């Protein structure tokens, strides 16, 4: 019972860490939505602004659960490398918000999102080896960031 509780008690920590990254990113993003972002030329396939919040909420929750699933396996296998790569992709996720929204550097943000995409793919691969469910939980994140990269590229080129 105690071991089961300690495994479950770490889930809120993963949720807190992932949503702390989301919250920090929103500090750079939210103030720019109604102002700077609205003035940008965007492709016709740009989703409505209201979609981003719910989508990212689900993605950050999935990231937290995936990280926790891998962390739970720490007694059975080494999870240091997978969780380090996970932390790197979280940092890159935050950095993108800083570059794109905070600094209005759409071109640099596009270069950075390629690194983020690669880090997510690496996280999926190393997570999958530990827990296939953890790896699978990150696939929608990779798909969303793929779309976000295309959107970032289009916004950059339309406003260059």
Q: Which domain holds residue 84?
A: 2-158
Least confident of 6-10, 19-23, 84-88, 116-120: 6-10
- Return the pLDDT at 8: 85
Average per-residue pLDDT in the chain? 95
Domain tally for the chain? Answer: 1
Q: How many angstroms separate the CA atoms of 118 and 65, rounded? A: 20
User: Mean pLDDT, to the nearest integer, of 47-55?
Assistant: 95
> From its phi and psi, is residue 104 left (phi > 0), alpha (psi between -120 and 50) or beta?
left
Q: How many angstroms separate the CA atoms of 54 and 11, rounded? A: 20
**At 1, is the pLDDT very low, low, confident or very high (cuts 50, 70, 90)?**
very low
User: Mean pLDDT, to the nearest integer, of 122-143?
Assistant: 97
Cβ(134)–Cβ(128) under 8 Å? yes
More confident residue, 2 or 52: 52
CATH number of the domain that residue 121 is part of? 1.20.1260.100
Tokens of 4: 């089961």
């Amino acid at each position: 019972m105690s071991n089961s509780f300690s495994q479950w008690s770490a889930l809120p920590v993963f949720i807190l860490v992932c949503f702390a990254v989301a919250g920090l990113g929103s500090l750079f993003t939210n103030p720019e939505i109604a102002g700077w972002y609205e003035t940008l030329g965007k492709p016709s396939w740009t989703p409505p602004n209201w979609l981003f919040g719910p989508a990212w909420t689900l993605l950050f929750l999935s990231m937290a659960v995936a990280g926790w699933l891998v962390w739970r396996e720490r007694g059975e296998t080494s999870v240091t490398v997978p969780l380090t790569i996970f932390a790197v992709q979280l940092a890159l996720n935050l950095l993108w918000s800083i570059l794109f929204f905070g600094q209005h550097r759409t071109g640099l943000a596009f270069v950075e999102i390629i690194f983020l995409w690669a880090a997510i793919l690496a996280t999926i691969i190393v997570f999958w080896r530990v827990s296939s469910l953890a790896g699978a939980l990150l696939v929608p994140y990779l798909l969303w960031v793929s779309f976000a990269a295309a959107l970032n590229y289009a916004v950059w080129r339309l406003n260059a």
